[in-house]
């Protein structure tokens, strides 16, 4: 009887702590979600076309989709989204292939200086982009690649963070797979593409979503290298629309355009969520 009471008394503080942690996390999650709720609410509020309603409200009195229709009329959203997709798809393809190949080499091909190469790749993450921005711009200007998407594709060849992720993931895969393939007469390229690459689905999904977020939301570099309005990415196009209309004007249209610009990110994340969770789980496995 005493043991049951003692166990119950020990469980009570843990239960109370779990409830407090749960309520705290719910509160913090709500704080994170409120701006998105307000954005969607304002995008559906016809009164917000002229100005932001005061006092602010989390849901419009008369929701309408006319703001989205006007957003497509006033902002060439489809063109901007297609431009961003054109940049993002090829940047992610180039950087992911480069990261996987270099990660495989550093993990499975044992050569002298591999640790130095890894440190060199990681050091590129320590240098702020603002430091290399001007030399990079001058380089592409000399090559006549300004106002061209090649200014995005060529720097994507070096993806230090992706190289680190790929190496850490491939370290979990048995080295005996490569040895068996080499004994069977497979080349290094065949071993990489047919044996290791199919096993890298989770880490590929992680790199795709992380890099897609960075490329899709990038503002500074596209602002420097893109001069033709027909080539603007979605972030630059929306910024120009906001600047031309003035602060506080057409806020509902701006929120509607912003909501539309988030749809590709949400769709990609929902599609790859299972693989990202699997990647996080596998990264904790030790041989």
* DSSP states of 107-176: HHS--TTHHHHHHHHHHHHHS-HHHHHHHHHHHHHHTT-TTSTHHHHGGGG--HHHHHHHHHHHTTS-TH
Exposed, middle or buried: residue 163 (CB in 10 Å: 0-12, 13-18, 19+)? buried
Are 57 and 73 contained in the same domain?
Answer: no
Alpha carbon distance 182, 187 (integer Å): 7
Over residues 2-20, the mean pLDDT reads 63
Domain boundary among 64, 96, 117: 64
Model confidence at 28, pLDDT cuts 50, 70, 90, reads: confident
Cis peptide before 55 (omega within 30 of 0): yes
pLDDT digits (tens, 9 = 90+) for 179-225: 888 888 888 888 888 888 888 888 888 888 888 888 998 888 999 99
Q: Domain for residue 20, yes or no?
A: yes
The residue behind tokens 């849901």 is: 59
Model confidence at 285, pLDDT cuts 50, 70, 90, reads: very low
**Could you give the 3-state DSSP secondary structure of residue 45?**
strand
Q: How many domains does the chain have?
A: 2
pLDDT digits (tens, 9 = 90+) for 92-118: 999 999 999 999 988 888 788 888 888
Q: Can you give the pLDDT at residue 142?
A: 92
Are 217 and 271 contained in the same domain?
Answer: yes
Percent of the chain with pLDDT over 90: 17
pLDDT digits (tens, 9 = 90+) for 227-245: 888 899 998 888 887 766 5
Q: Can you give the pLDDT at residue 2?
A: 45
Are 28 and 120 contained in the same domain?
Answer: no
Which domain range does residue 19 map to? 2-64
CATH number of the structural domain spanning residue 207 = 1.10.3720.10
Q: Can you give the pLDDT at residue 115?
A: 82
Are 54 and 172 contained in the same domain?
Answer: no
Alpha carbon distance 134, 129 (integer Å): 9
pLDDT digits (tens, 9 = 90+) for 56-92: 677 777 778 888 888 888 788 889 999 999 999 999 9
Q: Domain for residue 26, yes or no?
A: yes
Alpha carbon distance 109, 152 (integer Å): 30
Over residues 31-40, the mean pLDDT reads 84
Alpha carbon distance 207, 201 (integer Å): 10
Please say if the pLDDT value at position 120 is more than 60: yes
Closest CA to 214 of 259, 253, 160, 166: 160
Q: Which residue has the higher pLDDT, 50 or 116?
A: 116
Please tell me the number of Cα atoms within 13 Å of 184 on its side-chain side. 11
Are 46 and 73 contained in the same domain?
Answer: no
Alpha carbon distance 134, 269 (integer Å): 33
Are 119 and 196 contained in the same domain?
Answer: yes
Q: Domain for residue 287, yes or no?
A: no
In the chain, the N- to C-terminal Cα span, in Å, equals 45
């Amino acid at each position: 009887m005493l043991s049951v009471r003692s166990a119950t008394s020990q469980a009570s503080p843990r239960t109370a702590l779990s409830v407090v942690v749960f309520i705290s996390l719910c509160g913090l999650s709500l704080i994170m979600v409120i701006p998105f709720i307000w954005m969607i609410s304002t995008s559906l509020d016809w009164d917000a076309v002229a100005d932001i309603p005061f006092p602010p409200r989390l849901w419009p009195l008369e929701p309408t989709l006319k703001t989205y229709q006007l957003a497509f009329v006033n902002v060439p959203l489809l063109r901007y989204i297609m431009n961003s997709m054109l940049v993002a798809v090829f940047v992610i393809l180039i950087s992911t292939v480069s990261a996987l190949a270099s990660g495989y080499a550093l993990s499975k091909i044992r050569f002298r200086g591999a640790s130095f190469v890894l440190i060199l790749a990681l050091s590129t993450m320590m240098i702020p982009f603002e430091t290399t921005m001007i030399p990079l711009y001058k380089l592409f200007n000399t090559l006549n690649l300004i106002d061209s998407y090649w200014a995005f594709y060529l720097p994507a060849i070096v993806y230090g963070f992706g190289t680190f992720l790929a190496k850490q993931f491939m370290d979990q895969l048995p080295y005996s797979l490569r040895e068996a393939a080499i004994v069977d007469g497979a080349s290094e390229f065949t071993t990489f593409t047919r044996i290791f690459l199919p096993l890298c689905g989770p880490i590929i999904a992680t790199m795709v979503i992380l890099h897609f977020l960075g490329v899709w939301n990038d503002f500074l570099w596209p602002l420097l290298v893109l001069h033709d309005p027909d080539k603007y990415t979605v972030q630059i196009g929306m910024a120009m629309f906001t600047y031309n209309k003035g602060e506080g004007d057409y806020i509902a249209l701006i929120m509607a355009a912003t909501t539309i610009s988030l749809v590709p990110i949400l769709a990609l994340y929902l599609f790859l969520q299972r693989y990202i969770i699997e990647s996080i789980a596998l990264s904790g496995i030790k041989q």
